[in-house]
Structure formats: C-alpha cells, structure tokens
Structure 1
Amino acid sequence: MVGSGVSSAPTPHSGYHWDGESRKFFEGWYYRVTLPEAGETFAFMYSIEDPLGGESNSGGGAQILGPRDEYLCRTFPDVSKFWAWKKGLGLGHWGQTSLTIPPKLIDRDTFEAEVKQGYQATATWHQGQLYDPGSGHHCTWQYTIEPVYGWGDRQSTAGWLSFLEIFEPGWQILMAHGWATGWIDWNGERYEFNRVPAYGEKNWGRSFPQKWFWFNCNSFDGEPNLALTAGGGRREVLSWMESVAMVGIHHEGQFYEFVPWNGTVTWEIAPWGFWKMQAWSGDLEVTLTGTTEEPGTPLRAPTQEGLVFACRDTMKGQVHLQLKQRRQGRYEMLLEATSSQCGLEVGGGPWNETWIVD
C-alpha cells in the first residue's frame, strides 16, 4: 500500500491509555536519537506499571541504551510522581526533587535546577537527568524534536484491533522520523547535535508479547528521508495467541505498509545475530536483512513479573532494505538502502532455535 506519509495532525494513541482504575496495566514510551557522525545512538525507554499503586510491581522505570550499547537504568517507585497527558504525547516522572507541586510539564530551567532524577517528554521536547549511585554512571539531556513522519496518514500501527483494545499489547509508532537538535551528556562525554534523526513509539496493555523481534532505522546511507520500522511477535488476541508481523517504510513522502490484512509477511529470526523478513502487498515486495556481530545488551521490559530483563538489543545493527515493484510480470527495484546504525531486538521466548514463519 502506498500513500502520503506527511501530516501535522497528532498520531493516534499519542495519549495515555490508563483508565484510572485497572491495577494490572503498563504503558511504555521509546525515544531515540541517532548521531550519524559519531556513529552512536541513544535510546530512552520509559514505563509505568500498575499506576494505581500499592502492588508489588507498581512504579516507573527509565532505561537508556547509550554509546557502545552501554546501559543505564533507574526506577521510580512513587507512582504519584508520574504524569501523562490523556489527549496528546506528554509524560514525565520525578524521582529526587525539591518540588512540592503535583508533577507536570515545567519549564526547562526549573526542571534542570529542581529535578535531580527524572525526565519529561513531549512530541517536540525531551529532557532529563539520571544518576546511578551504585556505578556512578549518569546522563543528562535536552533536545528539541521536529516531527517529519508520524505513521502513515495518521493511522494506527496495529490497525483496527488496537482501537478495540483486544490486541495485547497495543503498539503505536508515534514518529517514524523527525529531527533532533540539542545535547546529551553521557558520563561526561558531551554530544551536541543539530537536526539528526529522531524516532518515537509506544506500547500499552497488561504485559509485553510472549515472544517478539524488531527492526528500526531512520539513518540510512545517502537516504536522509527514509525510515523503517518492522517487527512481529506472538501476541494475545482475546483468548488465543497468534503470530503476526508488519513492515512499514516512509520514503520521500510516501508510506509503504505490509501487514497481514493487506498482504503476506514472512520471517526468519535467529536467537541472536540474524533477522530476515519478506513481505508482499499488491504489486510490492520488500526484503529486509539485519545482522550484527555485537553481543547485544539485555534490557528490561514490563512482564507479568514486573519490569525484568526480557529482551536483547543493539543499536549497531547492519540492515539491507530492498523494495521492489512488479511491472509487466517482473519485479523492478524501487529502493535499495543500507545502514550500520539499525536497532535490532529479540525478546521474550523461548529462543532455542531460529523462528521461521513462511
């Protein structure tokens, strides 16, 4: 499917989904900045679990996958210090702070001076500071975001199922591509950047899928307006489990979508190191191949047991993308691109052998 990928309207599901009553609930947000010249990426992952409070898993988390796939994590047990907008993208969590007002979006200077542990983020602004007293590692960041592509023409990533809230969990790409300008300080290494690739997504529900995989890249060689997100997993729909996957590509104002309801998606995913997807929709065919020799970094994810190590990621994956169109009985190349700054992930399990669906 091909359509317009440019819109100034909010992406669906940008707001906070918690109904204010359910105890077993999580919502997670993902912000990423890629620095092509430095060859590094920063991925920020935020979550809130059992926000009503009083449960063993209640609380929030902030994780960062930084340069060289290094990792920093802080938890925020006090759910009352978390805030999020219901009708738009805005969230934050305060840890160590001298402020006594209810948590909310505040000006950048007040946040920097008064919130010693925490973060705040919207569709156009992202700021925070975290410090791990055990290791002495720390990160501080401030940057603006200029959105370019949402997801298709203001559509849901998971299709109509996400509207009915029977797809467990919900998944939405908030910004397939944008530009970030600002700075990040990682353990004293200061990275300043101007209009570098930025990305955002979110998920929500009772827990992550049973098993999943993921590709993401918007920093391709020689293709500044190309963004790829693809992934799949075993998810719960009502009372049964099904394996589903999708590929989404934004390129030069066009959106190419490959999903089960408009075509066929197949995959071959190793326990680590090799990811391959192929998909067909109408007269289009896409082939994705991701590889890495990096060991990957274990990351936490919301599960039935709370925020625990459940996936492995690298931001230094190699990816090869081929998009073809059938004309007069044969496929012709529409787009071919590569990158060495692709995010690659496997999660859940079991991962005892290569997962093949064809």
Structure 2
Amino acid sequence: MSVQHSLSSATPHSGYHWDQRSPRFFEGWYYRVTLPEIGQTFGFMYSIDDPLGDQPHSGGAVQILGANDQYLYRIFPNIQQFWADRNQLGVGHWGSHQLSLPPQLLDPQTFEKAVEEGYQATATVNQGFIGDRATQQSCCWYYTINPIYGWGDKHRNQKATGGLLSYLPIFDPGWQVLMAHGLATGWIDWNGEKYEFSDVPAYSEKNWGRSFPKKWFWINCNSFLAEPDLALTVAGAIRQVLWWEESVGIIGLHYQGKLYQFESTKGQLNWRVEPWGRWEIRGENERFTLTIIGTTDQLGNYVRVPTSEGLQFRCRDTMQGKITLELRHHQGKLILKTISYLGGLEIGGEPWDQPWIYPGVVN
C-alpha cells in the first residue's frame, strides 16, 4: 500500500537529484510543523551524503530542532538502507528493521511495526523514530499533511524557486521550496512528552548539490497572528555559479492565493543582516513594496549542514523569532501588516563578524 497521493501543488525538483555517478553529492529535506497554541515548532532535517558509497562522508542523518530549540541528531551510515523517489517527493532511511524488503515507502502501520529506527516522508506524510543512546533523548513522530501552497499562485502550475536556470547544473547548491504552506495533523513524542495537533501550519523545502553556500541567511514563517492564509520564505546566499560566486536573494510571500516574489537578480531586493539577532529585508518592484524585520533575543541552536568535509555545525537557528511584515502597493496603499512570534530565523556559512549589507543600507 502506498501513502503517496496526487498533489496539484507539486513543485519542480520534488524528485531525487543524484545522477548515480557523482562521488561528491548531498541532498537534504526539511519538514516543519508549528504549534501556535503552545508556541513551539519542530523541524525535521533529513540528508544523504555521497550515496555512491565508500567515500569518507557516505551516509545519512536525521536532525530535529524540537521544543525550545532543543536539538537531536542521529546518523544512519548504511547507504543501502536509504531510498528516494526520482519522480516525486519521497524519501526514507531505515536503521534497525525486521523486513526482507529493500528500503521503500511503506504504509504507516507496517513502518511503525517493522522499522525500529528510521524515517519516511512524502508530500502528505512524515513519520519516524530516532534515539540518542548517549543522552537517552528520543523523538517519535507521525503526521499527515494537507498541502495548500507549493511555490506559485494557487491552482496554477507551480514554479522552480530558483527559476528556469535551476534545471541546469550551473548553481550549487540547488534549492526548492516544496510546500510553502500546508496543514498537518498527527502527533510528535519528544522525550516522552506527546504533542497532538490538528490542522497546524506545516512547511517543507530541499537542497542538493556539493555543499551549502559559503554564506547565507534564511527567514521562514507561516504562523502569523490573525492571518492563517499567509506564508513567508526569504533567503540570501553567496552561491557557486560554475567557476565564480555571486550574492543572490529571494522573497516569496504567499497570500490569498497569490505569490508575491522579489528577486535580487532583478534588482528588487536589499538587506541588512546582523551576525545574529536582526534581519532587515526590503523588496520592491513596479507594483509592490514588502518590508520584513526579524529579531530575536534567543540564543538559538546550531545544526549541521553539508560541506565538502561532510556535515558540520555551520548553521544557527531559532524557531521563536519575532517577524514583522508590511506589504504595500507601490503608491503607498497598505495591503497587509502583521506579526509573528513563531518565525524561523537563521544564519549560516563561514563565521560572521560584520553585518551583511546588500547592495546598500536598508532604509
């Protein structure tokens, strides 16, 4: 029995990207649920490194940012127990199990009974269990997802987040928002405390390539006060383009069935991002102006990201950031103004010691 369903909002790049030959390659998937009633967020990060095998960093991993930005990590070194669907969103990795089958998507009941440690995730299901024997921490989870927004206007063909050139192997890494907004129903057991939820905000994205960018920031939120139909994703990075590097940034705001998109490659973005604590971004085109400010007094936590030396702690996150957002018509008429205290804020890459300003100071 398959738990994969048809999805009208499926995005490009949903399938697995490895070419079956490259010795240096990673692909990573990120799923998140936010529980507004208790002010907590859970982020699940799945990755595979060098799936050709017999490489120094070959293997898979699961990382979870849990309640109050707590962190849990588990490696799955056997690449033969990893699977991913090349045609649609589907990924999994088994640890200990009681099956004679090759790794594949299972119905949730079979997975729960037969796979003692591991995960499986599609466009509509996220399920798994991991434990850290050294710290006695564990997490068990199962929830279904009702996708609402992929990346694009609702009820229209969804778009590649990185644009048409993302289909060519010239950018490293690739990046795709798989689901800008959806609703999740299920449960998460975090160290023995069970969180049950129904129709809470959910999100997913992915990356692939040789390594994460030299430097980046990220803002994400789909749990705003009094605005259930609103999802924000912002990213800026210094990425590799063939034999040179470039700074790029993008804002995607899904609201009332429409995607408002601003891109640095079209001269529509500027930002000032501190090494930690404050993110200021402004997008402007011929029709709209969008101002975003993210702040936090939380220390956050560090998570591992793919590098040329394997997974390394080069990313700092909090899921309890404050985000204010204001969208206006170019003539000044206010369209939307809202706030969240459950925003995802992130910086990463090489150590920062100065604000990142692009291309000039944000006014």
Q: TM-score range by the shorter chain?
A: over 0.9
Shift, 1:49, TM fit: 0.5
Measured against aligned partners, the alpha-carbon deviations of 1:317-357 in whole angstroms (never above 9, x if no partner) come to: 00001111123xxx221111100000000000230111111
d(CA) in 2 for partners of 1:288, 1:343: 13
Distance in 2 (alpha carbons) for counterparts of 1:297 and 1:136: 19
Cα-to-partner distance string for 1:283-317 (whole Å, 9 max, x where unaligned): 21111100001001010000011011110000000
How far does the alpha carbon of each residue in 1:98-135 deviate from its partner, in whole angstroms, 9 at most, with x for none? 22310001121221122111000000011000011000
Aligned to 1:349: 350
SS of corresponding position for 2:56 = coil
Contact 2:9 2:149 in 1 (8 A): no
Given that 1:20 and 1:52 are in contact with CA atoms closer than 8 Å, whether structure 2 keeps it comes out as yes
Q: Deviations over 1:260-286 (max 9, x none)?
A: 344421111111111111111222111
Q: Distance in 2 between matches of 1:97 and 1:198?
A: 28
Residue pair 2:9, 2:148 contacting (<8 A) in 1 also: no
Measured in 2, the distance between the counterparts of 1:115 and 1:354 equals: 46
- Structure 2 match to 1:198: 202
1:292 equivalenced with 2:309 (yes/no): no
Are the aligned partners of 1:263 and 1:279 in contact in 2 as well (CA < 8 Å)?
no
**CA apart distance, 1:9:** 4.2
Identity of paired residues, percent?
56
Instruction: Give the aligned CA root-mean-square deviation in angstroms.
Output: 1.0
| Alpha-carbon spacing, 1:47–1:184, altered in 2? closer, same or farther (3 Å) | same
Name the SS of the counterpart of 2:110 in structure 1: helix
Which residue matches 2:254? 250
Q: What is the number of equivalent residue pairs in this alignment?
A: 349
Query: How far does the alpha carbon of each residue in 1:34-86 deviate from its partner, in whole angstroms, 9 at most, with x for none?
Result: 00001100000000010010001000010000000000000011101000000
- Asked if 1 retains the 8 angstrom alpha-carbon contact of 2:130 and 2:138, the reply is yes
Aligned mates of 1:164, 1:268 — CA distance in 2: 30
Match of 2:271?
Answer: 267
Partner of 1:218: 222
Matching residue of 2:3: none
Contact map agreement 1:263 1:282 (CA 8 A) in 2: no
Task: Report what 1:3 is aligned to.
Answer: none
> 1:138-193: per-residue Cα shift (whole Å, max 9, x none)?
00011100000000141011112211121110000000000000000000111000
2:336 corresponding residue in structure 1: 335
Asked if the contact 2:262–2:285 (Cα under 8 Å) also holds between the matched residues in 1, the reply is yes
Where do residues 1-358 of structure 1 align in structure 2 (5 Å cutoff)?
8-152=8-152, 153-327=157-331, 331-357=332-358, 358=360
Between the aligned partners of 1:20 and 1:90, the Cα distance in structure 2 is: 17
TM-score between the two structures when normalised by the length of structure 1: 0.96
Higher mean C-alpha deviation, range 108-117 or range 168-177: 108-117
TM superposition outliers: structure 1 runs of 4+ over 2 Å: 260-263
In 2, the alpha carbon distance for the partners of 1:69 and 1:161 equals 35
